[in-house]
Amino acid sequence: MHGVKSCGILMAASDSKHENVELLFPPKEAGERIWFGSEDENDH
């Protein structure tokens, strides 16, 4: 996907051996939107 901007993120957890990985599904009302960079780079 070179050249395609991605706004997606996956949250996952694994066991200590990293043999089992599960996706996390937080409630829709949980958390805040964050970004890294300057205000000029935030386009949402």
**Across residues 15-40, what is the average pLDDT?**
83
Residue 20 has pLDDT above 80, yes or no: yes
The rounded mean pLDDT for the chain is: 80
Task: Please enumerate in sequence order all residues whose Cβ is within 8 A of that of 24, keeping only pairs 6 or more positions apart, or say none.
Answer: 11, 12, 13
Question: Would you state the structure tokens that stand for residue 3, as one six-digit string?
Answer: 């050249």
Residue 17 has pLDDT above 60, yes or no: yes
pTM here?
0.39
Strand, coil or helix: 13: strand
Q: Can you tell me the distance from the alpha carbon of 16 to that of 18, in angstroms, rounded to the nearest whole number? A: 6
**Across residues 4-20, what is the average pLDDT?**
86
Task: Please enumerate in sequence order all residues whose Cβ is within 8 A of that of 33, keeping only pairs 6 or more positions apart, or say none.
Answer: 44
